[in-house]
Structure 1
Amino acid sequence: MPIRWPTSLLLTLLAVELLDEIVFSAREAAWPLIRAELDLSYLQIGLLLTLPGLLSNLIEPPIALLGDVWRRKALILGGGVVFVAALGLLAASPGFLALLAAFILLYPANAAFVNLSQASLMDSAPARHVQNMARWTAAGWVGTVLGPLVVAAAVMLGLGWRSVFLGFAAVALVVVLFVGRARLHTPNRAEEQPGERRPRMQVALDALRALGRPSVFRWLVLLQLSDLMLDKLNSFVALYVVDVAGGSEAQGALSLSLWAGAGLVGQLALIPILERVRPLAYLRVSAFAALVLFPLFLIAPDLSVKLGVLGLLGLLTAGWYAVLQGALYSALPGRSGTALALGSVADIVGSQVPLALGAAASFWGLGVAMWVLLAAPIGLLVGLARERSAKASGAG
């Protein structure tokens, strides 16, 4: 019997995001272990974080657009099966090339399995994009907290990083089975009458036109900038704690849990806050605070001070993605797949950042390379100031 909406379907979709963030946050926490066992360089790590994303960004837009006009559930389930297979390959990887192949499979599988699940959640309540994105992101933050803890526990128990990802593959298979029982909805297909379905080429042309709209383009740019202080920081913080701050591998994993735990508190607090405070006002205040705190994190001489500041950063930046992605969905009403497709196109640029950081760290050291991430709060403050000016001009 199909799972009923709303409670069961909501929990199923949030479980997809929870699993996704557990997997990727565990990977970031496990980098010191993976690097040591497979003898990887910073440049190779940068390639592992960049090349799969770049290739995936070429595949993701068609997948997302198909999610608006074709069998979205089939795309989600197919992505889930490949997601499981990629985790199995990751766990068995004997070296750099096999690891690279696992990530090349994992990234587009994630786009179909996770991103289209997010689109389905957005389509369930078009008037509450930001609020539902806050719930989605809260589930992700729970996963971000749990992933490093799983890695730290595996280290303490002597299980190793391979057993962690093998276990994730088994859990992912269970989640895919639950999604298979769920009833998903694609609004554009449901609303069309027989014979009125938009040609798929027309959907692509409409997406290109949307990219040219200033309101859509602005949110895409701000999403990429904000990600410097979110996923990009998350990718390198464990290595930073171990290689620059002098912490142990377990401390590197636990530092991610501290950052993510603070972010979880911030994200959970954001859900009621967004019912009372304008989302863009929250973004401006938190971006200014991050502009002050991130340099303090980098220059603090003591590891405990660094970790304290890192926790504050996680608390303050937790809602950036939810607010910005929700604004993008609202700028494209009824076209959640198109919003995902345009985000994937923008990610082609953003996916180059880990490679650039890895190269910079190889030449000048990771401590110097991390200063690049300060572009996130600076860019948000500039972009949001222009958004305010644009609204003032329109009102005038």
Structure 2
Amino acid sequence: MSLDSKNKTTRTVILLTMIFLVIELLDELVDGVRGAAYPLIRNDLHLSYVQVGLLLTIPNTVSSLIEPILGIWGDIGQRRQLILGGGVGFAIALLLISLSDNFSWLLVAFVLFYPASGAFVSLSQATLMDMEPTRHEQNMARWALAGSLGNVLGPLALAGAIAFHQSWRSVFLLLAVLTVLLVGMLWQYPIATPSASADVDQPMHSFKDGIRYAIQSLKRGNVLRWLTLLQFSDLMLDVLSGFLALYFVDVVGVNNTQASFALTAWLGFGLLGDFLLIPLLERVQGLAYLKVSAILVLCLYPAFLLVPNINLKLVILCFLGLLNSGWYSILQGQLYTAMPGQSGTVMTLNNLAGFVGGLAPFALGLVAQQYGLQPTMWILLAAPIALLIALF
């Protein structure tokens, strides 16, 4: 390869990496805006709590059935079409959300948005991993940072729009325009389908081959280990985040404003942790950091639950947010490394494992209803315990 060709390839990799990271930022930006806008959307469209529940349940269920199929298609030669088509669907869904004037149209928009996000965002992550196969953990850390930044900026974007006397509709319309611009930028670059894995005996030529290799992968202990640990680690990530405000109000006894401050502090230090993880992984092995982090969380989380002082609780919570911010990045990076040439299938297996992991909040809710939230919060210690058992 000539020097000019090598430089051109390097520039393409850098630009594609930036585009993929912006796609993740945009996806989490949409998620942050949507979460903050639900009360406004409910009031404008006169939605009931049942309808809000359906908006959260039906699109997610439909997407869970479609996304495993998209992942396999992404590994058998249709990666570029799926990502670009997903981007177009992503933009159309955002446009429909901004134009929706009743529950039915909003539900249609959400049903389109979820699988479109899977094709556009999840396959972009897979392609980012394929571009630098020896730097999965480092690039996943960058991906997580972009997502955390988008999640924090989402509510701020909505608040800014309201401050300038704009509605939630204008924010979603602007996000649709940004999506179109991103798809236009991505259209200019080649998106390669990964080469066949060394772990499979034949290249994947058909959808049937893709299903067969996905089943074979589930029989491999290393793949099962990372899939399982990803689900356990989520107990200290999204699951803890979901129960955090309720814990501060119902157990600690603070008001809603103080509970919101605690959640903001948790997210803020998580963002800081994602930022610090990028240079750290250039110097320290990800699994070594993960072991130390899990040990510290195993010590700090019981202290967080036991100390009565609210200020001390907040300080410990901030350290917890800082320490576990790299768990997803490292574990997901290890899963990609365990399945070379099958990055789309990683998306498929993640969705299948998510079916099981997704039951955790419901199960914890049942336990909390029966025994109270305080004892239920101790169950989340299963996350660092599982990590330490598997890693040591």
TM, length-normalised to structure 2: 0.81
User: Partners of 1:240 and 1:342 in 2: how far apart?
Assistant: 32
Q: 1:246 aligned to 2:255? A: yes
Which residue among 191, 194, 213 is the counterpart of 1:206?
A: 213
Q: Indicate the RMSD between aligned Cα atoms, in angstroms.
A: 3.7
User: Partners of 1:45 and 1:358 in 2: how far apart?
Assistant: 19
Q: How does 1:85-234 map to 2 (within 5 A)?
A: 85-94=92-101, 98-188=105-195, 198-234=205-241
Question: In the TM superposition, what is the alpha-carbon distance from 1:182 to its structure 2 partner?
Answer: 2.2
Q: Deviations over 1:26-46 (max 9, x none)?
A: 3333445555665554x7655
Q: 1:382 aligned to 2:386? A: yes
Question: In the TM superposition, what is the alpha-carbon distance from 1:91 to its structure 2 partner?
Answer: 3.4
Return 280-289 or 142-151, whichever deviates more: 280-289
Question: In the TM superposition, what is the alpha-carbon distance from 1:345 to its structure 2 partner?
Answer: 1.0
Alignment match, 1:391: none
User: Partners of 1:242 and 1:170 in 2: how far apart?
Assistant: 39
The answer as to whether partners of 2:70 and 2:119 remain within 8 angstroms in 1 is yes
- Compared CA separation, residues 333 and 384, structure 1 to 2 (3 A): farther
The answer as to whether partners of 1:17 and 1:136 remain within 8 angstroms in 2 is yes
Alignment match, 2:288: 281
Alignment match, 1:61: 68
Amino acid of the residue matched to residue 90 of structure 1?
Answer: I
Uncovered stretches (5+) of structure 1, i.e. residues with no partner: 389-396
User: Partners of 1:126 and 1:26 in 2: how far apart?
Assistant: 33
The answer as to whether partners of 1:284 and 1:384 remain within 8 angstroms in 2 is yes
Q: Deviations over 1:74-115 (max 9, x none)?
A: 100111111112223333445655544433222211110001
The answer as to whether partners of 2:367 and 2:376 remain within 8 angstroms in 1 is no
User: Partners of 1:173 and 1:285 in 2: how far apart?
Assistant: 43
Amino acid of the residue matched to residue 211 of structure 2?
Answer: A
Uncovered stretches (5+) of structure 2, i.e. residues with no partner: 1-7
- Compared CA separation, residues 269 and 3, structure 1 to 2 (3 A): closer
- Compared CA separation, residues 303 and 93, structure 1 to 2 (3 A): farther
The answer as to whether partners of 1:29 and 1:238 remain within 8 angstroms in 2 is no
Alignment match, 1:21: 28
Question: In the TM superposition, what is the alpha-carbon distance from 1:121 to its structure 2 partner?
Answer: 0.7
Specify the structure having the higher radius of gyration (Cα): 2
User: Partners of 2:319 and 2:224 in 1: how far apart?
Assistant: 30
Amino acid of the residue matched to residue 341 of structure 2?
Answer: G
User: Partners of 2:29 and 2:246 in 1: how far apart?
Assistant: 18
Secondary structure at the residue paired with 2:12? Answer: coil
Return 318-327 or 146-155, whichever deviates more: 146-155
Return 14-23 or 276-285, whichever deviates more: 276-285
Alignment match, 1:329: 336
User: Partners of 2:204 and 2:162 in 1: how far apart?
Assistant: 53
The answer as to whether partners of 2:73 and 2:79 remain within 8 angstroms in 1 is yes
Q: Deviations over 1:240-286 (max 9, x none)?
A: 7789742349x84x765543332222112112222333322322333
The answer as to whether partners of 2:247 and 2:373 remain within 8 angstroms in 1 is no
Q: How does 1:284-295 map to 2 (within 5 A)?
A: 284-291=291-298, 293-294=300-301
User: Partners of 1:267 and 1:19 in 2: how far apart?
Assistant: 17
Amino acid of the residue matched to residue 115 of structure 1?
Answer: S
The answer as to whether partners of 1:25 and 1:144 remain within 8 angstroms in 2 is yes
